[in-house]
Structure 1
Amino acid sequence: MKTTNIQLFEQKQVRSVWDEEQEKWYFSIIDVIEILVENKRPRKYWSDLKAKLAKEGSELSEKIGQLKMTAPDGKSRLTDVADTQQLLRLIQSVPSKKAEPFKLWLAQVGSDRLDEMQDPELSINKAMQDYLNLGYSENWINQRLKSIEIRKELTDEWKRLGMKEGQQFAVLTDIITKGWSDKNTKEYKKHKGLKKENLRDNMTNTELILNMLAEASTKDISQAVNPGTFEENKTVAKQGGNVAKVARLELESKTGKKVVSGLSAKKMLENKPKK
C-alpha cells in the first residue's frame, strides 16, 4: 500500500509517497529541484540534468521511477520520484547552498516515519505543528485534520467498491465539490487564485465543514446503497454533494453572505490580527 503525503522543508511543499511494503519514502524530484536551485523552471532544469546523467551513463538516471501524485491543477499525474538514497546521490549533482540542510531534513523525515509507525499519534502531532508553523489557527487546524480523516474514510469506501485511484477518484471528487459549492475543483482553485496550492489548505472553516459534510454524506449513502458501477458511484457522489449544498444555501439565506470564498490561505493569514 502507498500513502501520499506532503512534507514541508522550510515551509515549502515536497510531495511524497510512503510505500508500506518497501518501507521507504519516494519524493517528487521536481519539488526537490525547485527547492535546491530556487529556479522558476525546475522542470527544464530536471530535464537537462536527467539528459546529462543519461549521457554520462549514470545508473541513477535508469533507476528513476514514476508514481502518481497530485499536480498543480489538482489532477493525479505520473511524476518522477526518487527514494532517499537516490535523492542523496542526485543532490550531489545539483550545486546548491541548501544541499546540506536538505540532507539533514531527509534523514529527519526517515526517522520521524519510523517513530510514527510505532506511535500513529505522532503523525497527527506533526501535521498540526506543520500547519502552526505556517500560521494557521488551532481552530482551523482541528477542522483540517478532521477533514483528512473523513476524506480517508471516503477513499477507503471507494477502494472497497473497486474504484480506481487517480482519474476515477478525481472525477468523483469533482462531482462532490461541484455538488455542494457549484464549482468543480479547477473552478474553485481559480476562484481563490490558486495554482499549485492545495485547495483544502485554502478553505475557510465554513468551507471545510461543508466539504466534510459532502464527503461524509457520500460515504454514508454509498455504504447504504452499495453502488456497483462507476456511473452509480457518480450518482451517489452527486447526492452526497447535494446534502451539503442544501446546508450551504440555508446558511447563505440566513447570513446574506456567500460561503464559497475567494480567500486563499495567504490572504487569510495576511488578514489575521497581529498579536
Structure 2
Amino acid sequence: MTETHLAVFRGKKIRRTLRNNEWWFSVVDVCDVLTESADAGAYWRKLKQRLKDEGSEVVTFCHGLKLTAPDGKLRETDCAHTEGIFRIIQSIPSPKAEPFKRWLAKTGYERVQEIEDPELATKRTRALYKAKGYSDDWIEKRMRGIAIREELTDEWKKREVKENREYEILTAEIAKAAFGITPGQHKNLKGLKRENLRDHMMWNLIMH
C-alpha cells in the first residue's frame, strides 16, 4: 500500500513515498517550496503544460502516485524521483534552487545508505523521536509497533493478499478479534482521522 512520508526543507513540508526503493517527491510541494506561489498547484499545471508544448522530456519523469492530501484522503499527485526533481528545478527560477538541490541529494543518499544497511533507518527514526522529546519507553513501544506492522504487511504480501479491499477486510478481522469492534467503529468511538487509525489500533495492541 502507498504510504506518505513527510520531509521538511526550511520549515516547508514535502510529501514523498517509496517506489521501487526510491524516494518519489510531490512536484506540487516542491513548487511550493521554491516559488512560494499562492497556488502551487496552478503554478505546476502551467509549467507542466509549457514544458509539454516545448517538447521537453522533463514531464516524462512524472508519475501519478497516491499521496495523503491535506484532508487526509489519498489522492493521485504528480511525483518524480530525485533525478526528475532535479530536472524540474532547472525550469523554475528560484534563489532556493541550489540549497534545495543539496538537500535533495542528501535525502537521496541517506535512502541509499538505508537500503544497504536497514538498521540505519531505525536509528534515524529513534533519533528523530528522541529529538522531539519522547521518552525511551515511548520510543521503544513505538518502534515495536512499527516493526509488528511491517512484519504483518510483509506476511500478507507473501500470501498474495491484494491491496485495498482484501487488506481492509483482514485489518477489520484482526481488529475485531483484538478489540471486539471493527476499524470503522473504533474510529467513530475515538474520534480519529483516517490517517491515525492504523497506528492508534496497533498502539493499543502493544500496550495491552
Question: What is the TM-score of this pair, normalised by structure 2?
Answer: 0.74
Q: Aligned-pair distance for 1:82?
A: 0.8
Contact (CA 8 Å) 1:8, 1:130: kept in 2 or not?
A: no
Find the partner of 2:134 among 124, 129, 137: 137
Listed as ranges, the matches of 1:1-275 within 5 Å are: 5-11=5-11, 12-20=13-21, 24-133=22-131, 135-139=132-136, 140-166=138-164, 168-169=166-167, 176=175, 179=182, 182-183=186-187, 188-189=192-193, 199=196, 208=200, 210-214=201-205
Query: Aligned-pair RMSD on alpha carbons?
Result: 3.7
Q: Aligned-pair distance for 1:167?
A: 5.4
The Cα offsets for residues 91-138 of structure 1, whole Å up to 9 and x where unpaired, read as: 1222333222211111111221222223221111222333445x3414
Contact (CA 8 Å) 1:54, 1:62: kept in 2 or not?
A: no
Aligned residues: 200
Q: 1:131 to 1:105 in 2, by over 3 A?
A: farther
Q: 1:16 to 1:182 in 2, by over 3 A?
A: closer
Q: 1:131 to 1:14 in 2, by over 3 A?
A: farther
Contact (CA 8 Å) 1:64, 1:80: kept in 2 or not?
A: yes
Structure 2 stretches of 5 or more lacking a match? none
Contact (CA 8 Å) 2:3, 2:67: kept in 1 or not?
A: no
Q: 1:124 to 1:172 in 2, by over 3 A?
A: same
Structure 1 stretches of 5 or more lacking a match? 191-197, 217-243, 248-275
> How far apart, in 1, do the equivalents of 2:111 and 2:37 lie?
29
Contact (CA 8 Å) 1:29, 1:81: kept in 2 or not?
A: yes
Question: What is the TM-score of this pair, normalised by structure 1?
Answer: 0.58
Q: Aligned-pair distance for 1:151?
A: 1.7
Contact (CA 8 Å) 1:4, 1:18: kept in 2 or not?
A: no
Q: Aligned-pair distance for 1:90?
A: 0.6
Q: 1:188 to 1:118 in 2, by over 3 A?
A: same
**3-state SS of paired residue (1:182):** helix
